[in-house]
Chains A and B, each alone.
Chain A
Amino acid sequence: DTAVSQTPKYLVTQMGNDKSIKCEQNLGHDTMYWYKQDSKKFLKIMFSYNNKELIINETVPNRFSPKSPDKAHLNLHINSLELGDSAVYFCASSPGQGAYEQYFGPGTRLTVT
């Protein structure tokens, strides 16, 4: 059984387009996250949601908008895609906020041309 799943796994699109990445977790966790991993493997947190409420919103362009329809889903919508948005995006979940380990999805490799 897949714990944290993301779709699509690969996404190739042109500059200026709008795209979405979906994430679902079946672990019953309360907290979900989006991370961006660049080509040097550096991980940067983008957003954190707890029980569908936004908790962390790091310095991310407002072209990125997360949506949590329920606590098992956290989707990421990106408007007006730019070349610099090319990266691998990871969704993660944890039982709650604080000192809990996080469980990661397989990642979505976004390539903007």
Chain B
Amino acid sequence: GNSVTQMEGPVTLSEEAFLTINCTYTATGYPSLFWYVQYPGEGLQLLLKATKADDKGSNKGFEATYRKETTSFHLEKGSVQVSDSAVYFCALSDRIGNQFYFGTGTSLTVIP
């Protein structure tokens, strides 16, 4: 079956540090991959996506590359800001089964 595994949090970083949040997936077909961000008290917002192998999604300084050989979609940012403090969800969308699968979320806190 399909599933998404994210690194456990919480993650605490100092401002301007490098961020990596690991995400690996299991899929029977050729899924699309997503990162969502949830700021405190808000709903989830799409951060970036990739629809096929080797695609790189990017937005607001965040990047993630769809790696089929390692079944990974790790989220990276070169220099985090306090405003990046949020919960980040990796997700997979299955074209065949018409289902969406979310990881468990990783809480990030950036301290000044």
Q: Does A105 contact B (CB under 8 A)?
A: yes
Q: Does A64 contact B (CB under 8 A)?
A: no
Q: How far is the CA of A22 from the CA of B27 in the complex (A)?
A: 33
Are A98 and B95 neighbours in the complex by a CB distance under 8 Å? Answer: yes
Which size class do B's interface residues fall under?
20 to 34
Are A98 and B87 neighbours in the complex by a CB distance under 8 Å? Answer: no
Are B94 and A101 neighbours in the complex by a CB distance under 8 Å? Answer: no
Which size class do A's interface residues fall under?
20 to 34
Contact of B32 among A41, A55, A99, A107 (CB under 8 A): A99
Extra pairs beyond A90-B43, A98-B98 (8, CB < 8 Å): A41-B87, A41-B105, A43-B105, A98-B95, A99-B95, A102-B46, A104-B45, A106-B43
| Chain A contact residues, CB within 8 Å of chain B | 4, 33, 40-43, 45, 55-56, 90, 92, 94, 97-107
Given contacts A55-B98, A56-B99, contact A101 B49 (CB under 8 A): yes
- Give, as a whole number of angstroms, the nearest-CB distance from B104 to chain A: 6
